[in-house]
Amino acid sequence: MPEISMAGGFVNETQIFKSIALSNFDGKPYVKSITMARSPLTAAMKSLYFCELAEKRRLPRDFANKYGNSPEKFFIATEDLRAQYGDKIGTEITWPAVGVYSYLTERIGLGLKQLLAGTRKFKLDLINRSDIAALNKLASEVTGIPMLHEIEADLFEEILAS
């Protein structure tokens, strides 16, 4: 089977994790990348929107109080990017680009790291079908993945019996 890229409505790290895990039949996942469109575009558009509001000094009060009143303050990755790229941030590297970068690294990247830590596997190519469970009988039948209550059922019985 060739290496593939999955696409179609991916917006969060759990979907990416499941897609890669589902594709791992023999020790290596066939899904090598996830193609995303809507959510990074939304991050760019919302970033631009909030930058425009900040420029006009019309940010919602709650937002400004919580995150700051300028892009330098409300983008979480600004400090790291400024250390790496200096004054290019906000000019050559636009604020919407910083917003997309923040979404991909701070939301998706950090979320994937947390999921990998939860499975005690610290590389994406190590996750496999045993790291996920089916929530209904049809999903289990179609994918061959056991339902949640079937995973380590013997271990649960042993614990309950002792």
| Residue pLDDT tens, the chain, 162 long | 678 999 999 999 999 999 999 998 878 889 999 999 999 999 999 999 999 999 999 999 999 999 999 999 999 999 999 999 999 999 999 999 999 999 999 999 999 999 999 999 999 989 999 999 999 999 999 999 999 889 888 888 888 888
Strand segments (E) across 11-115 = 31-35
Amino acid at 97: A
Tell me the Ramachandran region of residue 91: left when phi exceeds 0, alpha when psi lies from -120 to 50, beta otherwise: alpha
Length of the chain: 162
